[in-house]
Amino acid sequence: MNIFILGGCGYIGSVLVNKLLENKKIKIKVLDTTWFGNYLPKNKNLKVIKGDIRNLDKVSFKKVDAIIHLANIANDPAVELDPNLSWNINVLSTKIILDKAVKDKVKKIIYASSGSVYGIKKEKSVTENLDLKPISTYNKTKMIAERIILSYKDKLKIYCIRPATVCGLSPRMRFDVTVNILTLQALKNKKIFVNGGSQIRPNIHIKDLVGVLEFFLFSKNAKTGVYNAGFENMSVLDIAKKIKKIIPSKIFITKNKDLRSYRLNSNKLIKLGFKRNFYVEDAVREIKLLYDKGKLKTSDKNYTVKWLKKLIKNDKITL
């Protein structure tokens, strides 16, 4: 099986590639700008190409069975750094990718959209058929990219996954996602700062998300469409309390600037046969274990917006 992973050097991509390499029958090509580095192992079944999805002239998808598309500017504040650049990468490039995929006869594309496309939802259970009310530019880019990709549904199998906020360890670590950042605060300062706290956020462990991507990669009969992927709907304050139980610390409530609040219902995915195996607590314990061993290194690269700001300022990323 030949797989092309766009954005395979990122937080999710790095865990995904390592997992897929365990299967000796899979050959992987990764295309990534390597903005945050490349932590992928050397392996005869893996080729990493340094490049940008905005220009695929030198890239071929011939003989590729499936594309997994993870290459985006991947959070709200980072998208706001340069909205034009973000629309180019997150939205316009999807047409370039899909046109090439169809031309080169790729059979399947799996796209990491985002559960945040729902915005603020009061419903107890947010299913895929509800209206989208994206709040931020990031959420809007994800919604429009989904629509572009789905407009190719007669030409290849399409799975748009709407993951909850991801947590857990990765070789390209992110400390700007809720569980990871609150855990780091508890470990370093014995203090957890919660913005507001009552807003509900769904969560997914990174190994479960990788499991979801694999599930669709190997699925022969899952229908083209949109699938939620999030399992623990919790208030941010409850996440902090869970962390506090594992890492004794004090919780401080600060003014909330981030209004997103929604509960993901992933029954459509579960009904297909997907089984989740990991919990928020697992992510907290895994991060703590590494910290206790003195092996948890942090740098600006772990904070998407901080790092991208530097790259843009130094003209390392341009329109």
- Judged by beta carbon, residue 8 or residue 156, the one nearer ligand NAD is 8
159 contributes a contact to ligand NAD by CB under 6 A: no
- Judged by beta carbon, residue 72 or residue 249, the one nearer ligand NAD is 72
Quote the CA–CA distance of 181 and 11 in Å, as a whole number.
14
Hey, which residues between 43 and 102 contact ligand NAD (CB under 6 A)?
52-54, 70-72, 74, 89
Q: Minimum Å distance from CB 54 to ligand NAD?
A: 5
33 contributes a contact to ligand NAD by CB under 6 A: yes
Closest CB to ligand NAD: residue number: 10
Q: Minimum Å distance from CB 137 to ligand NAD?
A: 12
Contacts with 115 (C-beta within 8 Å, 6 or more apart), sequence order: 126, 162, 163, 164, 165, 202, 228, 229, 230, 262, 264
For ligand NAD, the binding residue among 82, 87, 121, 163 (CB under 6 A) is 163
Size of the site for ligand NAD (CB under 6 A): 29
Q: Minimum Å distance from CB 250 to ligand NAD?
A: 26
12 contributes a contact to ligand NAD by CB under 6 A: yes
Q: Output the six-digit token pair for 289.
A: 């274990």
10 contributes a contact to ligand NAD by CB under 6 A: yes
Q: Minimum Å distance from CB 93 to ligand NAD?
A: 6
Q: Minimum Å distance from CB 248 to ligand NAD?
A: 26
Quote the CA–CA distance of 205 and 276 in Å, as a whole number.
9
Per the CB < 8 A criterion, the answer to whether 114 and 139 are in contact is yes
Amino acid identity of 104? D
Quote the CA–CA distance of 232 and 90 in Å, as a whole number.
27
Mark 169-208 with x for binding to ligand NAD (rule: CB under 6 A) and - for no binding.
---x-x--x-------------------------------
110 contributes a contact to ligand NAD by CB under 6 A: no
Q: Output the six-digit token pair for 273.
A: 């046969």
Chain-centroid distance of CA 25 in Å reads 25
Contacts with 240 (C-beta within 8 Å, 6 or more apart), sequence order: 182, 192, 194, 197, 251
Per the CB < 8 A criterion, the answer to whether 176 and 75 are in contact is yes
240 contributes a contact to ligand NAD by CB under 6 A: no
Quote the CA–CA distance of 100 and 121 in Å, as a whole number.
36
**Distances from the Cα of 193 to the Cα of 183, 204, 237, angstroms:** 10, 21, 9
35 contributes a contact to ligand NAD by CB under 6 A: yes
Q: Minimum Å distance from CB 305 to ligand NAD?
A: 10
Judged by the rule CB under 6 A, the positions of this chain that interact with ligand NAD are 7, 9-13, 31-36, 52-54, 70-72, 74, 89, 112, 114, 163, 165-166, 172, 174, 177, 304
